[in-house]
Amino acid sequence: MSAPTATAPFTGLSALLDDVGRDVAEIDVRPPSGETAVFGHDAGTAPRHGSPLADGPAVAFPTTVAEVQRLVRLAARHGVSVVPRGAGSGLSGGAVATSDQLVVSTERLNRIVEISPADEVAVVEPGVLNAALNDRLAPLGLFYAPDPASWRISTIGGNIATNAGGLRCAKYGVTRESVLALDVVLADGSLVSVGHRSIKGVTGLDLVSLFVGSEGVLGIVVGATVRIRPLPVARRTVTAFFDSTAAGAAAIGAITASRVRPSVIEFLDQPTLEGIDAAQRSGLRARGAALLLIELDGFGIDEQTAELTAALEAAGARVRVESDTDAEVLWELRRSGRRFDEGSWYAGGDIAVPKSRIAEIFASFPTIEARHGVALSAVAHAGDGNLHPVVTLPIPAGADPAVVPAALHDAADDLVRAALAVGGTVSGEHGIGTVKRALAAEELAARVRSAQFAVKDALDPSGLFNPGKAL
């Protein structure tokens, strides 16, 4: 517990920190300093080249819901905006904060309150790590399905605020499908509970769905009731290698046309396989130029495997059922992925398209590469049409690495427009944050945007929470 010192450069924040020190000294609050600079950005916006922020935001570490309410009320009184923050693993700038803002970290709101196998729910505080919940559930033969690749480091609260996806979404849906009820602290400091513990429930407007994916602009999630499920009786990993990216992308439709619904369908194109081999000393490229990495689970695993194999072989794949040991290695390779050397600029993306249009997006790469003089590659959560393209460009000798050429972002924007043109969306799972607001405005009709601002206004009329994000 530290009594905050009033070193904040802005009057509102200085006065807020003085009040916190006087009235609620039990809350650990750090004033803006070089030490809080890490709270000024998230994983997607952290400076890769160049100097870090001189001064970060003020950061509070409440340990109870009542403390969150006190902080929000004091911030509102002093006109200091509040940035909710989980683990800061976001990739869209949603948790970015400046030195005149107060970050409310959920790091110490990290209790698993209840696990009820009978109701198939868990009740958690927002700072519980996704992996920590699954570690508690596994010995009970249960699991929490949403599994962003960041599951070891990201919080359930952050997953809810971003409506995080993950590998298993192909079968179990995104985070929204696993959230039944939420406790939320609103901008006036009040605490509301929305949703229900029952699996069903349609009373009133669905405010749970509104808060899920709202990127911290409507309130701070301080509690969640989430669905849990029995661990599958069996899991099996199947690889399908192809002679070209185009052949692999085209084969995704063969899985859709079959009666098998894998729990995971990941597609890795040729540059991605080469990048993983270079970073991890693996030998994926020797097996083919594109890979569908698939997990089946549940009862009837042999029947599922047979039907899947037949569908993929008919689409030209070399199919192998992997041993458990090899499967573990393959999934780790997928999750840790390729690494980008210091000698290149790169920009990541997160578009989603209808499943039947994935191949068209891969087919658009050469045109976009030629237009902007960059290289493109992508992995795709192919089961739900979500692609993560990466744009790269070698940094020429003598160039300032901190000055990223416009070509990178222009190419990334072109990919987004390619997705929109086939009925897709600017973000599949990472959110809008600060980095995709202009593109979101291209996707959303003016009347829809004004309706979204009206919702924000109704819940947070003074714009306390996360200004300049998401909307």
Give the binding site for ligand FAD (CB under 6 A). 42-43, 83-91, 94-95, 106, 126, 148-150, 154-155, 157-159, 161-162, 164-166, 215-216, 220-221, 429-430, 466, 469
DSSP letters spanning 356-420: GGHHHHHHTHHHHHHHHT-EEEEEEEGGGTEEEEEEEEEPPTT--TTS--HHHHHHHHHHHHHHH
284 vs 435, beta carbon nearer ligand FAD: 435
Name residue 293's amino acid: L
Of 86, 85, 81, 89, the closest CA to residue 46 belongs to 89
Residues with Cβ within 8 Å of residue 51, at least 6 apart in sequence: none
Smallest separation (angstroms) from ligand FAD to the CB of 464: 12
Q: Measure the CA–CA gap between 330 and 320, rounded to whole angstroms.
A: 12
241 vs 465, beta carbon nearer ligand FAD: 465
Give the other-Cβ count within 10 Å of 11's Cβ: 12
In this structure, what token pair is assigned to residue 13?
A: 């924040």
Smallest separation (angstroms) from ligand FAD to the CB of 61: 13
Smallest separation (angstroms) from ligand FAD to the CB of 430: 5
Smallest separation (angstroms) from ligand FAD to the CB of 360: 23
In this structure, what token pair is assigned to residue 377?
A: 């590659």
98 vs 244, beta carbon nearer ligand FAD: 98
Indicate the DSSP class of residue 439: H
Q: Measure the CA–CA gap between 188 and 134, rounded to whole angstroms.
A: 34
Contact 321, 305 (CB under 8 A): yes
Of 427, 447, 347, 384, the closest CA to residue 94 belongs to 427
109 vs 368, beta carbon nearer ligand FAD: 109
Smallest separation (angstroms) from ligand FAD to the CB of 87: 4
DSSP letters spanning 64-108: SHHHHHHHHHHHHHHT--EEEESSS--SSSTT---TTSEEEE-TT
154 vs 377, beta carbon nearer ligand FAD: 154
Q: Which residue is nearest to ligand FAD (CB)?
A: 158
Of 78, 102, 104, the closest CA to residue 19 belongs to 78
Smallest separation (angstroms) from ligand FAD to the CB of 81: 11
94 vs 385, beta carbon nearer ligand FAD: 94
Contact 349, 389 (CB under 8 A): yes
18 vs 331, beta carbon nearer ligand FAD: 331
Smallest separation (angstroms) from ligand FAD to the CB of 219: 7
Smallest separation (angstroms) from ligand FAD to the CB of 332: 13
39 vs 362, beta carbon nearer ligand FAD: 39
